[in-house]
Amino acid sequence: MQPDSAKTIHAIVGGRVIDPASGHDGIADVVIKNGTIAEITPKSGAQPGDPGVIDATGMFVTPGFVDLHCHLREPGREDAETVESGSAAGVRGGFTTLCCMPNTEPAIADQGMVRFVLDRALAAPGRVHPIGAITRERRGEVLAEIAEMVVAASHDSGPLSGVRR
């Protein structure tokens, strides 16, 4: 496939394309222009070995996956992982969106900690959505201000008996 004069064209060819949005499920080529999917077609004219062409024969081509329960270690354990490095690892594995649990130190249990994670996520290659703790500092005693966090909430582990407002 020859690039046109205005735009570079890339393609993923010969893979089983599963696209829930369009209902497509079959062998096809995906044509990409300027980083955006331009077309899903039975044959694009691109050939394996052409510059910018990925041969996906025998592989699945899908939208990015969502990990609804991951453990990013920032804040508090940046020596083990950061929001950016965890997101990069997810993207390499096909997960373009990560929902990170609140088991950090300090816990993601208030609006400030949610903002901290969202700010770090700006440099991440994928999307990162913080999940707020149900209880303050994840101690299972006093409910966190879930409404002010404007996120999903999880306790991630441990008992919730005896929680008070």
* Same domain (yes/no): 115, 144: yes
Q: What is the mean pLDDT of the chain?
A: 89
Please tell me the distance from the alpha carbon of residue 61 to that of residue 12, in angstroms, as a whole number: 8
Domain span holding position 145: 65-154
* Same domain (yes/no): 70, 35: no
Which domain-ending residue is among 61, 85, 102? 61
Residue 64 has pLDDT above 80, yes or no: yes
Tens digits of residue pLDDT in 106-135: 999 999 999 999 999 999 999 999 999 998
* Same domain (yes/no): 43, 86: no
* Same domain (yes/no): 57, 74: no
* Same domain (yes/no): 55, 95: no
Please report whether residue 1 resides in a domain. Answer: no
Please report whether residue 163 resides in a domain. Answer: no
DSSP class of 164: B
Tens digits of residue pLDDT in 72-104: 999 999 999 999 999 999 999 999 999 999 999
* Same domain (yes/no): 150, 70: yes
* Same domain (yes/no): 76, 46: no
The CATH number given to whatever domain includes residue 20 is 2.30.40.10
What pLDDT score does 162 carry? 65
Please tell me the distance from the alpha carbon of residue 101 to that of residue 132, in angstroms, as a whole number: 7
Pair 8, 46: CB distance under 8 Å: no
* Same domain (yes/no): 80, 122: yes
Span 143-151, average pLDDT: 85
Please report whether residue 160 resides in a domain. Answer: no
With bands split at pLDDT 50, 70 and 90, how would you rate the model's confidence at 3?
very low
Residue 163 has pLDDT above 50, yes or no: yes
CA distances from 12 to 16, 23, 36, 44 (A): 10, 18, 12, 9
* Same domain (yes/no): 13, 39: yes
What pLDDT score does 147 carry? 86
pTM of this prediction? 0.77
Max avg pLDDT among 117-121, 135-139, 148-152: 117-121
Tens digits of residue pLDDT in 26-54: 999 999 998 889 999 999 988 888 889 99
